[in-house]
Amino acid sequence: MTRAEERLLDPAPSGEIAAARDFGVDLSLLVERLRRSPEERLLDLQAAMEFYEQIRGAARFAHDPAERDPTTAGRS
């Protein structure tokens, strides 16, 4: 276990990590993020963006009939 992981998993009572935990930050997510290399973090971010785009596309599909059937686009 790295020093950073130790600090995140057992924060000093009056430190910034404890303050973040109390604010609602999920420290276990930070532990996982710090186990990744910067390049892996960037690729994870890219994957999150792509997932968001898929969700957004699905939401459009669900709410807009024209998205479901292009042949009806523009018809009221």
Summarize as ranges the residues that interact with another protein (CB under 8 A).
3-5, 7-8, 15-17, 19-21, 23, 25-27, 29-30, 33-34, 38-39, 41-46, 48-50, 52-53
Q: Would you say 26 or 64 has its CB closer to another protein?
A: 26
**Separation between Cα atoms, residue 33 and residue 5, nearest integer Å:** 10
Q: How far is the CB of 74 from another protein (least distance, A)?
A: 19
Residue 11 sits at the vertex; the CA angle it makes with 6 and 16, to the nearest 5 degrees, is: 120
Q: How far is the CB of 61 from another protein (least distance, A)?
A: 17
**Separation between Cα atoms, residue 32 and residue 28, nearest integer Å:** 6
